[in-house]
Amino acid sequence: MKGLNACFLRNVFVIFVMAVFAFLSTSCGGGGGGGGNPTPEETPVAQILTPNKDMTVHEGDTVFFSAYTAPQKDWTYDWNYGGGATATKGHTPGNVAFNTAGVYTITLTVTAGDGSAKDSVKITVLQSSVDTDPVATIASPAGNVGVLPGGSVNFQGSVSGGNAPFQYRWNFGGAAAESTAKDPGNITFNTAGTFTVSFTVTDQDGDTSTDTVVITVSQQDTVPTATIVNPAADAVIFTNGSLVFDGESSGGNYPISYSWSFGAGMPSSTLLDPGRVTFPNNGTFNVTLTATDADGDHSSDSMRVTVVNGTPSLSSPANSAAIINPDILLQWNSVTYAGSYGVQVSRNSQFTNLVTDISTSANSHQVTGLASGTYYWRVNATDGNGNDSSWSSVRTFTVTIATVWYRSSAGYDHTLAIRDSDKSLWAWGENVYGQLGDGTDAPSDVPVMITPEIGWEFVCAGYYTSFAIKSDGTLWAWGRNNNFQLGDGTSTNRNSPVLIGLSDDEWLYVSNRGDHTAALKSDGSLFMWGTGGNGQLGTGVASAQIAVPTQLGEDVWLQVEAGRYHTAGIKSNGSLWTWGSNSNGQLGDGTLVDRHILTRIGAAGDIWTQVSTGWYFTLAIKGGELYGAGSNFYGQIAPSPYTYRENIVQIGSDDDWYMVAAGYDHFMGVKQDNTLWGAGCNDSGQLLGSFTLATRYSLSQFSTETVWESVNTGRKHTMALRVNGTMYGSGLNDSGQVGVGSLAERITEPTLVNAQ
C-alpha cells in the first residue's frame, strides 16, 4: 500500500504540471513561432515528467510514466523499462506494473527526423510487498569480551529480513562516538568500566531490531576461560561420523585467539565455533579448545571422541534364500551404540527401486506383501549423534508366492483341491477313468483347473472317483462308475463333472474310498449309494447295489466316512457307528464278522469328534485321544504283534489330537499345537516329513513346526495344508499325484504344490 500511495501522489502532481503546461501554452499563443516551443526543424526534447526522481516500490506495484511533449506530429516516444516491464510507445504510457524484484533503469528516447534525445530514471523494486521485520546481529565480536584500557575491539554487524534500504546505528555506551556504518571496525576503549554496546537496524518502513554485547574494560590482567559447549560430554560416533563443535570464552584481555585440536592426524581450527568436524578413522581422540588473550594468558577445555565401526552384519535369511511367502523376517546382529537401524529392500542391486526404506530401533524387520521375484537387502546403523554407519554387505532372496488352497483331498492315485482366492476346482494325477474331470483321460503332474466355474466348497478324491460340492449345495461327481459309485443312476464313467441328485439339494459332505459312497445333506441326513457286497451300504442286504443317493434311516449325523469295503460315522449325539467288511477288525466291535447294519462302537456316553476310514482300518478321536482298530501290519494301530486289532484301542497316550487321516496302510494327523504326526508303511515316502522310506512301526512326530492345519492321505501319497494355506505333498508319484511337476516315482521330501 505504501507504494500505491506514492504513485497516487505522483499522479496528482503530474496532472497539476500538465494543467499548468496547458495554461501557459494557451497564454503564450501556442502556435506562434515566438512561443518558445520547438519547431519541426529543432532538436527533439526528452524529459521524463513523472516520476521526476528515482523511486522504490514493491513487487506488483505500478508507476505512472509521462513525458514532456511538444505539439509536433513527427516526434516519437520510446520507453524502455530495463527488463522490468514490456517496452511501450507514446508520450504518456500511464501506469506500468513492476512484478519482479530488481533495480531497473527506465530510458525515454524521443526521436524527430535524424535527431534524438534521451532521459532516464531508476526504479528499485523490493522483493515483496509483505512487511517483514529486520533482525540485527553483532557478527563481531562473537560474544562479551574484556580488554585493558586503551584496547580496541573490532565491530561488524549483519542484518536479515526487513525491507531495504536499512539504516544502522551503533551505540558504544559512551566509550566512543556513535556510528552509522554497518561495520564500524576497531573501536578503542580508554576508560575502565562495563559498556553495553548496541547495534540497531531500521528498515525503510520504520521497523527496528537491536543486538547487544558487553565490553568490560578492566584495570587488572584477567585470564580467559575456555569452555567446550557442544558436545556437552564425551561422545561415541561411527566411522566417518561427525560432530558439531561450539566453544565459549569469558574473561581475558581482548582480543582472544582460539585453537581447536581434534587429535592426531586431524586438522585444527582457529574459530571459536568450528562447526561440524568429521572423524574418518577409528580410535579415541582427545579434543581440546584453548583460548589465549592479548597478553598471552590462556586456558583449555577438553573432551573425548571415540570412533567405532558401526556396520551391522546380516544374520537371516541366508544369502540367496528361497522364500515361499510374501512375508519375510529380516534379521541382523545388534550394534553397540546404535540408536536405530536403516533397512533397505530393493528390486535391483543399485537400490534405486526400493520397496522398503525404513528406520527401526529393533534388530529385525518384517517385510510384508512382496511379489514374486529377486530382492536385495542391506542394513546400516545410526549412532546417538545421528551419524550413519556404512551399509552392510548386500544379500539377496527370491520370493515365490505360493498358491493358497482352501481344501484338498488325496485319492487312490490322484488329488483334488480348491484354490482359496476364487474357490476354483483343480485336479492332478492319474486320469484313466476321467477322475481329473477335465474332459480327457490324460494324466497331469501339475494342478489343472477342471472347470472355469468357481464357488466350490468341498472335494473328495476317492477310488478312481471324484466328488465336489458347490457353495450352492449341489453335488457333482466324475470318474469311474462301474458299480454306480458316482450316483447318477448309470454305470457309465464320466470325464467331466455331472450333477448328482437335484439342483436344489443342499449337500454338506461326501466320502469315497472304494466302490460305494456316503454323503450328508445340510440337515444331517445320511445317504448311501454304489455297491454293498460286504454290507457297507448299511441296508442289511450284503449284495445290494444302489444307483442313486438313497437315505439311510432318519438319524442326524455329524460325519460319515466310506472306506474300501466298510463305513463309519458319528451321529449328532457323538456316538460312533461302523458297518460293512470286518475282515481285519476294522469295525472295532471286537469281532471279525461283517456287519450289514449299523453297529455302535465304544461305550454309551462316549463323545467322538472325528472318524477316518482307511482301506482296512479305522481311526477316531474322543476327548482329544486317538483310537484305532483294524489292519496293523505296519504298526499303524499298535506295537508288535503286527496283526489286526478287532477292538478299538488308544494309539499313544496323548489327549491333544486335532484331526487324523487314514490311508491304505499308513495314517497321519495334526495335534492341537499344529505339529504333524503319523505311523505305518512308508515305502514311497507317504509319511510326509519323514525324508526317508523307513516304515514307522509306532507313532512318530514328523514336523516340530507348529504350522500344519490339516492332512489327508491317499493310497500311497499324502497332502497337507499349512495354516497359511500353502500345500505340501510327498509319497508315490508315478502318475503325478503329488502335483509338483515331476513324474519321479517317489517324492520323499515335503514339496510345495502350486497352481500354474
Residue listed under C-alpha cell 542391486: 349
Say if residues 397 and 381 touch (Cβ distance below 8 Å): no
| Residue 413 maps to a domain | yes
Say if residues 730 and 740 touch (Cβ distance below 8 Å): no
**How far is residue 219's CA from residue 461's CA, in Å, rounded to a whole number?**
108
User: 578 pLDDT exceeds 70?
Assistant: yes
Q: Rg of the chain over CA atoms, in angstroms?
A: 49
Distance, first Cα to last Cα, the chain: 74
Residue among 572, 637, 661 at smallest CA distance from 609 = 572
User: 619 pLDDT exceeds 80?
Assistant: yes
Say if residues 620 and 612 touch (Cβ distance below 8 Å): yes
**SS3 letters for 393-462?**
CCEEEEECCCCCEEEEEECCCEEEEEECCCCCEEEEECCCCCCCCCCCCCCEEEEEECCCCCCEEEEEEC
Give percent above pLDDT 70 in the chain.
94
Q: How confident is the model at residue 268 (pLDDT cuts 50, 70, 90)?
A: very high
Do β-strands 328-332 and 364-367 pair in parallel, antiparallel, or remain unpaired?
antiparallel
| Residue 344 maps to a domain | yes
Q: Identify the three-state secondary structure at position 464.
A: coil
Segments of 231-313 assigned E as strands: 235-238, 241-250, 257-261, 275-279, 283-292, 298-308
Instruction: Write the single-letter amino acid at 380.
Output: N
Q: Phi, psi at residue 367, to the nearest 5°? A: -100, 130
Query: How much is the pTM?
Result: 0.58
pLDDT (average), residues 23-31: 35
Instruction: Write the single-letter amino acid at 691.
Output: F
Q: How confident is the model at residue 397 (pLDDT cuts 50, 70, 90)?
A: very high
pLDDT in tens, 232-250: 999 999 999 999 999 998 8
Residue among 326, 329, 309 at smallest CA distance from 318 = 329
User: 502 pLDDT exceeds 60?
Assistant: yes
- Give 286's contacts (C-beta < 8 A, 6+ positions apart): 261, 263, 302, 303, 304
Instruction: Count structural domains, the chain.
Output: 5
**How far is residue 500's CA from residue 475's CA, in Å, rounded to a whole number?**
5
**How far is residue 438's CA from residue 444's CA, in Å, rounded to a whole number?**
10
Q: How confident is the model at residue 73 (pLDDT cuts 50, 70, 90)?
A: low
Q: Across the strands, what pairs with 703?
A: 676
| Residue 747 maps to a domain | no
Residue among 249, 248, 245 at smallest CA distance from 293 = 249
User: 141 pLDDT exceeds 60?
Assistant: yes
Q: How confident is the model at residue 71 (pLDDT cuts 50, 70, 90)?
A: low
pLDDT (average), residues 381-390: 96
Neighbours of 237 (CB within 10 A): 23
> End of a domain among 97, 126, 155?
126
Same domain flag for 376 and 444: no
User: 93 pLDDT exceeds 80?
Assistant: yes
Q: Identify the three-state secondary structure at position 57.
A: strand
Residue among 310, 308, 288, 307 at smallest CA distance from 299 = 288
Do β-strands 193-202 and 456-461 pair in parallel, antiparallel, or remain unpaired?
unpaired
Same domain flag for 391 and 469: no
> End of a domain among 488, 507, 540?
540
| Residue 90 maps to a domain | yes
Same domain flag for 83 and 152: no
| Residue 624 maps to a domain | no
**How far is residue 91's CA from residue 97's CA, in Å, rounded to a whole number?**
17
Same domain flag for 409 and 523: yes
pLDDT (average), residues 283-302: 94
Residue among 105, 98, 120, 33 at smallest CA distance from 71 = 33
Neighbours of 504 (CB within 10 A): 8
- For residue 132, the model assigns a pLDDT of 84
Say if residues 419 and 399 touch (Cβ distance below 8 Å): no
Burial track 99-126 (b if 16+ CB lie within 10 A, e otherwise)? eeeeebebbbbbbbeeeeeebebebbbb
**How far is residue 412's CA from residue 398's CA, in Å, rounded to a whole number?**
35
For residue 667, give the C-alpha cell: 495314517
H or E segment and range at residue 13: helix 2-27
Q: How confident is the model at residue 127 (pLDDT cuts 50, 70, 90)?
A: confident
- For residue 398, the model assigns a pLDDT of 94
CATH assignment of the domain containing 516: 2.130.10.30
- For residue 129, the model assigns a pLDDT of 56
Residue among 569, 465, 562, 587 at smallest CA distance from 511 = 562
Neighbours of 716 (CB within 10 A): 24
Say if residues 686 and 716 touch (Cβ distance below 8 Å): yes
| Residue 268 maps to a domain | yes
**How far is residue 677's CA from residue 669's CA, in Å, rounded to a whole number?**
5
Same domain flag for 206 and 234: no
- For residue 181, the model assigns a pLDDT of 95
Say if residues 666 and 686 touch (Cβ distance below 8 Å): yes
| 59 DSSP assignment | T
Same domain flag for 452 and 358: no
Q: State the residue range of the domain holding 120.
A: 2-30+44-126
Residue among 172, 140, 171 at smallest CA distance from 155 = 140
> End of a domain among 171, 190, 217?
217
Same domain flag for 335 and 273: no
- For residue 16, the model assigns a pLDDT of 40
Say if residues 208 and 134 touch (Cβ distance below 8 Å): yes
User: 37 pLDDT exceeds 50?
Assistant: no
Same domain flag for 319 and 394: yes
Same domain flag for 464 and 432: yes
Neighbours of 705 (CB within 10 A): 12
Same domain flag for 247 and 320: no
Burial track 394-426 (b if 16+ CB lie within 10 A, e otherwise)? ebebebeebbebbbbbbbbbbbbbbbeeebbbb
Residue among 326, 405, 324, 410 at smallest CA distance from 721 = 405
- For residue 14, the model assigns a pLDDT of 39
| Residue 325 maps to a domain | yes
Same domain flag for 6 and 81: yes
CATH assignment of the domain containing 268: 2.60.40.10
Residue among 91, 109, 93, 110 at smallest CA distance from 44 = 110
pLDDT in tens, 681-714: 999 999 999 999 999 999 999 999 999 999 999 9
Same domain flag for 304 and 320: no
**How far is residue 549's CA from residue 519's CA, in Å, rounded to a whole number?**
8
- For residue 294, the model assigns a pLDDT of 84
Q: Average per-residue pLDDT in the chain?
A: 91
Residue among 142, 163, 162 at smallest CA distance from 153 = 142
DSSP code string of 578-622: EEE--TTSTT-BSS---EEEEEEES-TT--EEEEEE-SSEEEEEE
| Residue 145 maps to a domain | yes
What Å distances lie between residue 118 and 68, 216, 244, 274, CA to CA? 12, 59, 58, 55
Residue listed under C-alpha cell 526522481: 53
**How far is residue 584's CA from residue 582's CA, in Å, rounded to a whole number?**
5
User: 7 pLDDT exceeds 60?
Assistant: no
